């Protein structure tokens, strides 16, 4: 496995970004891995490696770079009253981001990839968890010529009243988008998911929503208290199939 950290210049600063790809001649199809609200950490790096081992160039940006280069947050303790300051800090980081900011960062990633020998040009995939589910949804519509496949895993705030809400570009999506939904998820209320479902049906895009029985928000993170092995393995199967069909 080849791994490196690169600093990408954006209009707002320097975005530290993590790259993983197989240790053999490329180029490899690209998958952008958008982090969840807890931030870049070894747990996510391992997930990137799992994707990279089957033949992808995986790139994971630190989307909190405007405020911090790294964070030290334990998701399993964030709701402990003793960690109230950590929880407040996480929400501060989370809420300073907008969909528009992340799309600008995504363009910076594409600019970087143009000169990366190991990254195959053309069709790209993306995956995002929790807060980043909406970034996948938005990116699929903002970059329809590049984003051929996207997976939003227990995505939050897929629909908002903001002018850059992800659902507003549903009709622009040309690739295939997949929504993995936890059966128990207070971050994804039924009325929001119904709006997404209607948007998919109304526009006729290639989109699918799938519920994961018994799973809770955060089920795919192996160190998380709510980790659900069966659902996690199903989600990997869905990701590999999605990217195999659309990127290879």
CATH 3.40.50.1820 fits 2-247, yes or no: yes
Sheet containing 57-61, strands listed edge to edge, beginning at the edge strand earlier in sequence: 2-10, 13-21, 57-61, 28-34, 119-129, 147-153, 176-184, 206-216
Considering only CA atoms, which of 210, 203, 130, 156 is closest in space to residue 178? Answer: 210
Kindly give, in sequence order, each residue whose CB lies less than 8 Å from that of residue 237, ignoring residues fewer than 6 positions away: none
Mean pLDDT of 187-202: 96
Q: Say what the pLDDT of residue 76 is.
A: 67
Is pLDDT of 11 > 80? yes
Portion of the chain with pLDDT greater than 70, in percent: 99
The token pair that represents 16 in the structure block = 């530290």
The confidence score (pLDDT) of residue 9 equals: 97
User: Can you tell me the distance from the alpha carbon of 22 to that of 53, in angstroms, rounded to the nearest whole number?
Assistant: 6
Instruction: Give me 111's structure tokens.
Output: 């600019």
Start-to-end C-alpha separation, the chain: 20
């Amino acid at each position: 496995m080849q791994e490196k950290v690169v600093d990408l210049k954006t209009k707002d600063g320097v975005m530290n970004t993590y790259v993983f790809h197989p240790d053999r001649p490329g180029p490899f199809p690209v998958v952008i891995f958008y982090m969840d609200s807890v931030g870049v950490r070894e747990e996510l790096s391992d997930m990137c490696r799992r994707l990279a081992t089957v033949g992808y160039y995986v790139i994971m940006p630190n989307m909190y770079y405007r405020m911090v280069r790294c964070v030290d947050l334990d998701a399993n303790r964030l709701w402990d009253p003793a960690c109230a300051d950590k929880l407040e800090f996480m929400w501060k980081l989370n809420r300073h981001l907008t969909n528009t900011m992340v799309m600008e960062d995504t363009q910076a990633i594409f600019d970087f990839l143009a000169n990366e020998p190991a990254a195959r040009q053309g069709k790209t995939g993306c995956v995002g968890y929790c807060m980043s589910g909406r970034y996948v949804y938005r990116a699929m519509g903002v970059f329809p010529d590049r984003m051929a496949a996207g997976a939003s895993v227990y995505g939050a705030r897929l629909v908002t009243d903001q002018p850059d809400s992800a659902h507003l570009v549903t009709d622009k999506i040309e690739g295939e988008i997949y929504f993995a939904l936890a059966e128990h998820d207070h971050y994804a209320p039924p009325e929001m998911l119904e709006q997404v479902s209607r948007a998919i049906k109304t526009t006729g895009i290639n989109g699918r929503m799938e519920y994961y029985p018994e799973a809770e928000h955060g089920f795919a993170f192996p160190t998380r208290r709510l980790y659900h092995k069966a659902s996690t393995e199903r989600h990997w199967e869905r990701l590999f199939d999605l990217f195999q069909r659309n990127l290879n």
